[in-house]
Amino acid sequence: MRIKVVRIGNSKGIRLPKPLIEQVGLVSEVDLEVRDGALVISPAQSLRAGWREAAISLAEREEDALLDAPTPTRFDTEEWEW
């Protein structure tokens, strides 16, 4: 499919046909990237997608230990109230 690039203020843009938007599930935000000389538009992914599952997997394998020792401050030990 070929579409025209249009002016939008000082920028340029493209109008995506509604059937294409629905087919790939675009909503209000998209991720853009250049891949092998092509502009790739995909539905925006949650910034923390998969983090919960990854944390559970680490805990199950007992690989969730802290890399650095805790460094409490005076505020942490004396001033913080629960």
CATH numbers and ranges of domains, the chain: 1-66 (2.10.260.10)
Backbone angles phi, psi at 60, to 5 degrees: -65, -35
The structure's pTM equals 0.51
The model's confidence at residue 9, banded by pLDDT at 50, 70 and 90, is very high
Query: Is 66 within 8 Å of 47 (Cβ atoms)?
Result: no
Closest CA to 42 of 57, 60, 24, 15: 24
What's the rounded mean pLDDT across residues 6-22? Answer: 94
Query: Is 54 within 8 Å of 48 (Cβ atoms)?
Result: no
Query: Is 13 within 8 Å of 5 (Cβ atoms)?
Result: yes
Tell me the pLDDT tens digit for each residue of 41-69. Answer: 998 888 888 899 999 999 999 998 888 88
82 pLDDT higher than 80: no
DSSP string for 38-71? EEEEEEPPPTTTTHHHHHHHHHHTT----SS---
